Amino acid sequence: MTNDDIVERLRKNAVFNYRDTYIEAADEIERLRDELDKVRRAWCLYLAANAGLQKEQIANMNGWDCFKEEENNNESSAGNGDSPTAAKSL
């Protein structure tokens, strides 16, 4: 079971008397996941600056996908003249 599964299940099962509770729980899980990814990205950037590795390499070595959302955001902003490949190589 992945973290996404529990969030989707909470939202799908949010019915009747517990609807607000389930939705609040799903929102809190997503908020905490975003916060954890932010800390993971900061740690990867710190290590990259001091260890001579790429930030994505550090994330991969730890089994983290904390740069996945950032890459998706960079690709969606590619229409403004930015190259998605250039953004990924940073």
**What pLDDT score does 59 carry?**
94
**What pLDDT score does 89 carry?**
33
**What pLDDT score does 71 carry?**
62
**Exposure string (b/e) for 11-28, b if CB count within 10 Å is 16 or more?**
eeebeeeeeeebeebbee
Is residue 58 within 8 A of residue 72, CB to CB? The reply is no
**What pLDDT score does 83 carry?**
34
Q: Count how many domains the chain has.
A: 1
Structure tokens at 47: 């290590």
**What pLDDT score does 12 carry?**
80
Residue 18 gets which letter from DSSP? G
Give the domain extent around 78.
3-88
Question: What pTM was estimated for this model as a whole?
Answer: 0.62
Structure tokens at 42: 């900061």
**What pLDDT score does 64 carry?**
93
**What pLDDT score does 57 carry?**
92
**Residues of the chain scoring pLDDT < 50:** 1, 79-90
